[in-house]
A = this chain, B = another copy of it.
Amino acid sequence: MTDLRFLVLGSAAGGGLPQWNCNCSNCAAARDPSFEIIPQTQSSLAVSLDGETWALFNASPDIRQQIQQTPQLHPKTLRHSPIRSVIITNADVDHIGGLLTIREKQAFDLFSTAAIGTVLDANPVFRVLNPAFVQRHSIRLDEVFSPLAGMEARIFAVPGKVALFLEEGEPELGLEGEQTIGVEFLANSKRAYYIPGCATLPDWLCERIRGADLVFFDGTVFTDDEMIRVGTGTKTGQRMGHMPIIGDDHSGSLDVLSQLDIGRMVYVHINNTNPIWRDGPERDAVTAAGFEVGHDGMEIDLA
C-alpha cells in the first residue's frame, strides 16, 4: 500500500469553532446541539502511506483532543504513538501550540524551515520537547524530504507574513520566504498539496499546483472584510495573510483555483466567522464549483 492517505484532524482556523470568546451566529450554533453546525478543532492534517505510521502537518493547540477522537493515532503499546513526525507550515499559535502537548519522552521527527525553527528556539517553553527524543530537522525550500519512510514531500514558500505574535508594527504582507510554506506530496504518481495559509495566488503558484490530484487550501474567510462585517474584528483577511474565497473581479481562491484542473479541492483552516460552515448561498457557491468544505475526521485516500 503506497497510496497517500489524508486525515483532517482540524479544519478550523486559529480559535476553532466555536472560538472561546466569540458568540457570532456560527459559534453560537456550534455550541447548540440542536443546530447543524458541528464543532471543529484547529488546523492540522495527518498523512500516512500505510495507515500505521502518520506524519502530522501542524500541531494545533487542540492536538490532545484530536488524537483522542482519532483511533488511528492511539498508542498501541504501553508508551507509543503512531505519530512519527510533525511538520510546521508557519509559526502561528494555531500551528505550533500543540507542540507543548506532544511531550512525555516520545520520539518523533520535527521538521520546519530554519526560520520557523528559530522561532521555536527563541521560546524556552518548547524545551518540553526533549532533544533526546525529538529530533529537529531544518528543511530547505524546494528540497525533497521524507516525513515518513517511503513518503516524499517538498515544501515551498507561499505568500504570507510572519506569525501574529512576531509582528512589530505593520508586517510585510505577501512575503515569500520561510515564514509560510505549502507542502507538495508525491506518491504512486499522484500529486497533492497542503496550503493552509496563503495571501495570494500568483501565476507561479497556480502553475505549480495545476493538474494536482488533491489540494487542501486556505479557506479562512469567504470575503476579505468578513470579520469587520460580522463585527468580530477590525482586520481584513488580507491583513491576516489569507486570501478570500470570493474576491473582486474573480480574484478569490474559488475562481482562481477553478481554472487549474485540480482533481479534488478541499478548503481547510476555515475561520469561525466563515458562512461556508452552514447551509446557504456561500456554501452552495463552493460546492457548485465542485469544491469541498473540510471537516474534522474527513478522510481522503488517493488511490
* A residues whose Cβ falls under 8 Å from a Cβ of B: 15-16, 18-24, 27, 31, 39, 61-65, 67-68, 74-81, 93, 96-97, 100-106, 119, 122-128, 164-166, 231-233
Given the interface pairs A21-B106, A125-B93, the reply to whether A65 lies near B63 with Cβ below 8 Å is: no
- Dominant SS at the A interface? loop
B104 touches A93 (CB 8 A): no
Residues of the B chain whose Cβ atoms lie less than 8 Å from the Cβ of A124: 119, 122-123, 165-166
Residues of the B chain whose Cβ atoms lie less than 8 Å from the Cβ of A231: 78-79
A42 to chain B, nearest CB (A): 8
B78 touches A24 (CB 8 A): yes
A21 touches B81 (CB 8 A): yes
Which of B64, B106, B164 contacts A16, CB < 8 Å? B64
A27 to chain B, nearest CB (A): 8
Residues of the B chain whose Cβ atoms lie less than 8 Å from the Cβ of A65: 62, 65
A96 touches B76 (CB 8 A): no
Query: Among the interface residues A18, A24, A125, which one has the most CB atoms of the partner chain B within 10 A?
Result: A125
A84 to chain B, nearest CB (A): 12
A187 to chain B, nearest CB (A): 27
In the complex, besides A23-B76, A61-B100, A61-B101, 17 extra interface pairs with C-beta distance below 8 angstroms are A16-B64, A19-B104, A20-B67, A21-B75, A21-B80, A21-B102, A22-B78, A23-B77, A65-B65, A78-B231, A93-B100, A97-B101, A119-B124, A123-B124, A126-B165, A127-B165, A127-B166
